[in-house]
Chains A and B, each alone.
Chain A
Amino acid sequence: MSSYLTLEHVGMTFKTQSGNFRALDNINLEIDKGEFISLIGHSGCGKSTVLNIVAGLLKTREGVILLDGREVSDPGPDRAVVFQNHSLLPWLTVYENVRLGVDKVFSVSKSKKERDDWTRHNLELVHMSHALEKRPGEISGGMKQRVGIARALAMEPKVLLMDEPFGALDALTRAHLQDSVMDIQAKLGNTVIMITHDVDEAVLLSDRIVMMTNGPAATVGEILAVDLPRPRDRLEMANDKRYHELRAEVLDFLYRRQLRPAA
């Protein structure tokens, strides 16, 4: 009962045309407040399924999810999601996309002026103040993802859920955004679950890396604590012995112990 977010015996079975598919089996996880957790595993191992269950976007009958002492099952802004493909509404401007969430979450607790300020503040946090009136179609992929992060942050979620947030970006943009996320998380102390298949990203950003076994019936294989001091600098890490040990450990898990038979 000490952890902030708890997953207890979470499992998931999908009904398909060719019978039942057991996707997840007995997932147990305890996450502390302010912790940055990465879920890593081969594609198809059910990482996204775990995230969607926590978000409430997928329902399961097996297991319980407790957040801040309460069971959660429906989606809600206390578990804001940063979607892989940003999912900004293309007919709204950058500002309006963030404001939509702000208006919804703080409809009572904040005045109009405060909501406006809060929207702008969060867009500033992700360095998007210059493009408030632009539409998603007018900005780059990296910028869209920044706005997606701002939208999620602006809901002041208890947990920030990020589903391969940088997967669709080029390497340089990805590095920029990773740094931004590290800065923001250091500043705000968010609790984060991030899905990734990028080993460096996992080691650089996380406090703990949850490595998942291959499906079907995927589950938590191993949990690796990343004991690198913060703030972490990308360039220093390149020469850090411990960083490389941790990296090697994740790689070893992914490519030796969990090598995909079909791949």
Chain B
Amino acid sequence: MNANVIRLEIVGEAENGQSEVKHVKQGVEAPPCQPAASVAIAPEEGAKKGAWREKGAAMLKNILLPSLTFLLVGVLWAFVHSHVAHEIPSPAETWDRAREVLAHPFYENGPNDMGIGWQVSYSLGRVMAGFALAALVGIPVGFIMGSSESFSRAWQPLIQILRPVSPLAWLPIGLLLFKAVNPSAIFVIFITSIWPMIVNTAAGVKAIPRDYMNVAAVLRLGRFEVTRKILLPATLPHVLTGMRLSLNIAWMVIVAAEMLTGGIGIGFYVWDEWNNLNMPSIIVAIGIIGVVGIVLESGMNLIQRYFDYNRQ
């Protein structure tokens, strides 16, 4: 399992580093564009051998180097456990706990004692619900903001003020509105997800080249046709970027939100285990949260790449 995890992480990072240009301004991120495909010109003879050697070296680098890092951190961790802070559980203890937890991820012992699989599923459910609602509202709003100067003028200041607020600050308002924790957590995720979607969609609409609209004008496309045939496809990469950013943040926020709301969910699981002073469980949970985060990110990356019309 470890080897797989390592591999995923490295692939994800390499892609982020290479293929994305980040606009610092207003947190708008440009959609990824693939680097130009490199053309290898090698003589037929011996080229295969060289290619294999290169591939082997790359594999070695991608697996060996991260493995070394994990090993190093493991050693450091063991040292901290034995010499600095004994309260931190040892790697071996944690490993045992991980095997225990992962052996029966979906057990059910009443509503207050459920397997880690259930905890993650409930959290994911809330994230998806809030995320979907945010998409439903945020993407159309982003479209209007991008295409209407006055709408943008009217709403921009409010959005600028609300965007940097930690979504958790909205939790009491959610509780007040819904009088229940589950909808409140979803509400927090909704607030988390909506800003990147609005901002990126609006930026995408604004970034549509004048030329495309000229083409539409020459073809005398109607308003509906322009939206369907030009606005939507031209903006889609930006929209997906907004969704990816949203999902990343939402997954971080849900853990904190659930710590406050309680119930079933990976966030409350962490908090509960802290109350039980069960440190190995917490470390295992951190690992699982990270892996789920990577899976979400890779999923969004795949979707984004599928719709990236500039891919070679």
Contact = CB atoms under 8 A, between A and B. Distances in A.
A100 B214 contact: no
B53 interface: no
6 contacts: A57-B217, A77-B218, A87-B211, A90-B309, A91-B233, A104-B220
A105 B229 CA distance: 15
A100 B214 CA distance: 14
Contacts, number: 54
A91 B229 CA distance: 10
Interface of B: 209, 211-212, 214-215, 217-221, 229-230, 233-234, 236, 309-312
Contacts of B309: 90-91, 135, 137
Given A57-B218, A77-B220, A89-B233, 13 more contacts: A57-B214, A74-B220, A75-B214, A76-B218, A83-B211, A87-B214, A89-B229, A100-B229, A101-B219, A104-B220, A105-B219, A135-B309, A155-B219
A137 B220 contact: no
Interface string A156-176: 000000000000000000000
Interface in A51-103: 55-57, 74-77, 79-81, 83, 85, 87, 89-91, 100-101
Contact of B218 (A55, A90, A91, A138): A55
A89 B312 contact: no
The DSSP consensus for interface residues of chain B is helix
Contact of B217 (A75, A100, A101): A75
A81 B211 CA distance: 11
A114 B234 CA distance: 29
A100 B219 contact: yes
Nearest to B219: A104
The DSSP consensus for interface residues of chain A is loop
Contacts of B209: 87
Given A89-B230, A89-B233, A79 B218 contact: yes
A89 B218 CA distance: 14
